[in-house]
């Protein structure tokens, strides 16, 4: 598996990819930094990896999924969740990391995918 960080989002209220969700990638630690802001495509994925082989680095990261904005844009009331932050560590910069989000307006789940 090539070294990269990727994600995808599934809208479990429809059973389909979450199209148009805004996601921010931040580096955490002593000097936190916003690395990029992306929007999911028709497959609920980002265009290309969030971090490619050259950008992969050991350290702490956070993905912030803009859930309320996504559901509100589809006419779905989302009064419980706003932004969903997922903090994780990259411990092997030569490995692949996939961090998906399965989400409804009331709950979410994630895991380290392949």
**Overall average pLDDT of the 5-11 stretch:** 98
What does the alpha-carbon distance between residue 24 and residue 34 come to, in Å, rounded to a whole number?
7
Find the mean pLDDT for residues 53-60: 97
Give residue-wise pLDDT tens across range 15-53: 999 999 999 999 998 888 999 999 999 999 999 999 999
pLDDT of the residue at 30: 87
Q: What is the dihedral of CA 75, 77, 81, 86, to 10 degrees?
A: -20
Please give the pLDDT value at position 101. Answer: 98
pLDDT for position 41: 98
- Mean residue pLDDT of the chain comes to 96
User: What percentage of the chain has pLDDT greater than the value 90?
Assistant: 93
What stretches of 40-107 adopt beta strand conformation (E)? 59-66, 83-90, 96-98, 101-103
pLDDT, mean of residues 77-104: 97
CATH class of the structural domain 4-105? mainly beta
Mean pLDDT of 91-114: 96
> What pTM did the predictor assign?
0.96
Collapsing DSSP states into helix, strand and coil, what is residue 66?
strand
Q: What local confidence, expressed as pLDDT, does residue 1 receive?
A: 65
Q: Is 20 left (phi over 0), alpha (psi -120 to 50) or beta?
A: left
């Amino acid at each position: 598996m090539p070294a990269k960080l990727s994600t995808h989002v599934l809208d479990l209220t429809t059973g389909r990819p979450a199209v148009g969700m805004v996601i921010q990638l931040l580096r955490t630690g002593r000097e936190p930094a916003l690395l990029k802001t992306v929007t999911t495509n028709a497959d609920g994925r980002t265009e290309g990896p969030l971090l490619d082989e050259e950008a992969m680095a050991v350290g702490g990261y956070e993905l912030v999924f803009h859930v309320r904005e996504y559901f509100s844009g589809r006419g779905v009331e989302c009064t419980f969740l706003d932004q969903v932050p997922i903090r994780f560590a990259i411990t092997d910069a030569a490995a692949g990391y996939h961090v998906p989000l399965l989400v409804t307006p009331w709950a979410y789940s994630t895991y380290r995918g392949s």
